[in-house]
Amino acid sequence: MKVTALAGGVGGAKLVDGLAQCLSPSDLNVIINTADDFKHFGLHISPDIDTVCYTLAGISNIQTGWGREDESWVVRHSIRDLGGPDWFKLGDKDIATHLERTRRLNLGEKLDSITKYFCNKWGIKINVIPMSNDLVMTTVQTQDNGEIPFQEYFVKYHCQPKVKGFIFRGIEKADPAPGVIDSILKADVIIICPSNPWVSIDPILTLKDFRKTLKTKCVIAISPIINGKALRGPAAKMFKEMGIIPSALAVADHYRDVISGFVVHKTDLNEIAQIEQWSIMTTALDIIMSNKAHRKRLAQEVLIFCDQLI
């Protein structure tokens, strides 16, 4: 089975790691959200690409969910000594990634090629594709604080401001990166990982030609909401502030026009009937991935579910 996964940060990275444990590398493509990429200290930072790659390479910090394991903080402390901003926690090893990415971008190399190069260096065999080589910048429209760049909303303000919408600045001019549309066309199934629908998956879906292509394919999604709560991150809070009761049902509704299959958590059984009314085949699985073995187990179960759909 040829699979293309769509993923954002932590939750997506975990399922992708599970899928990578189950599938042959040539059968798995992953399209990563880059709409929360940003410039900080002149560096090009791609948080979701890094989270997915560090996770796949086995060098991610499992405690924090972001950054690298065995990280040191000398640069950050020296920046603080200079009175510079330290709200975005940059570890020393992580900074090396941003520096080398920025150096290559400045030389004219594209993000997809740099990502491929990094994957090779880190021993990652599956195909990790940034959604676009063009800069898209998510901003959060807040109820009381105007429009805030996503990383400031997310990291600096700890998702506190109430949201009323999201703008993916630059999305209409952004071309899908080479391989993005092709990997959709060639896939037997597209898996939308348990990432944030609003800020991780929607940017990918909004890409030029993307939704149109997706509608020709078998697409399944895994709920990032369990029992009305997000396992981590602001997804549930965002649904609520957008006037929608956060639930697996709400997530299925969000993806309703593109998915034909949906996975809820094993305790969310009462939502299944309603979702299936929308002709979305639904299954209940243990979605929580606490370790590498859990990731593989969920991926296996998801792939069995996909097999029933295609």
Binding residue (CB under 8 A) for a second copy from 58, 84, 146, 165? 84
Provide the residue count of the chain.
Answer: 310
Cα 72 to Cα 153: distance, rounded to the nearest angstrom:
25
Q: What angle do CA 205, 211, 216 make, to 5 degrees?
A: 140
Cα 133 to Cα 94: distance, rounded to the nearest angstrom:
21
Nearer to a second copy, 38 or 305 (CB): 38
Query: Is 138 within 8 Å of 35 (Cβ atoms)?
Result: yes
Binding residue (CB under 8 A) for a second copy from 69, 92, 286, 301? 92
Nearest to 9 by CA among 310, 224, 183: 224
Please report whether residue 237 would count as binding a second copy according to CB under 8 A. no
Please report whether residue 254 would count as binding a second copy according to CB under 8 A. no
Binding residue (CB under 8 A) for a second copy from 26, 64, 72, 291? 72
**Segment near a second copy (CB under 8 A), from 29-37, 89-97, 128-136, 193-201?**
89-97
Please report whether residue 243 would count as binding a second copy according to CB under 8 A. no
Count of residues in contact with a second copy, rule CB under 8 A: 31
Nearer to a second copy, 72 or 267 (CB): 72
Please report whether residue 152 would count as binding a second copy according to CB under 8 A. no
- Minimum CB separation from a second copy for residue 230, in Å? 32
Contact string (CB under 8 A) for a second copy, positions 28-67, x = contact: -----------xxxxxx-----------------------
Please report whether residue 81 would count as binding a second copy according to CB under 8 A. yes
- Minimum CB separation from a second copy for residue 284, in Å? 42
Nearer to a second copy, 86 or 209 (CB): 86
- Minimum CB separation from a second copy for residue 96, in Å? 3
Q: Which two tokens stand for residue 29?
A: 């493509």
Q: Which helix (H) or strand (E) holds 48?
A: helix 47-57
- Minimum CB separation from a second copy for residue 89, in Å? 14
Site for a second copy in 101-120 (CB under 8 A): 102-103, 106, 117-118
Cα 64 to Cα 251: distance, rounded to the nearest angstrom:
25
Q: Are strands 219-222 and 261-265 parallel, antiparallel or unpaired?
A: parallel
DSSP letter (8 states) at residue 280: -
- Minimum CB separation from a second copy for residue 151, in Å? 14
Strand partners, 4: 29, 190
Buried b (16+ CB within 10 A) or exposed e, 75-95: bbeeeeeeeeeeebebbebbb
Please report whether residue 160 would count as binding a second copy according to CB under 8 A. no
Please report whether residue 157 would count as binding a second copy according to CB under 8 A. no
Query: Is 184 within 8 Å of 4 (Cβ atoms)?
Result: yes
Q: What is the dihedral of CA 182, 183, 185, 189, to 10 degrees?
A: -170
Please report whether residue 88 would count as binding a second copy according to CB under 8 A. no
Nearest to 296 by CA among 15, 10, 6, 8: 15
Please report whether residue 162 would count as binding a second copy according to CB under 8 A. no
The dihedral built from the CA positions of residue 193, 197, 200 and 204, taken in this order, carries a sign that is positive
Residues near a second copy (CB under 8 A)? 39-44, 72, 74-79, 81-85, 92-93, 95-97, 99-100, 102-103, 106, 117-118, 121
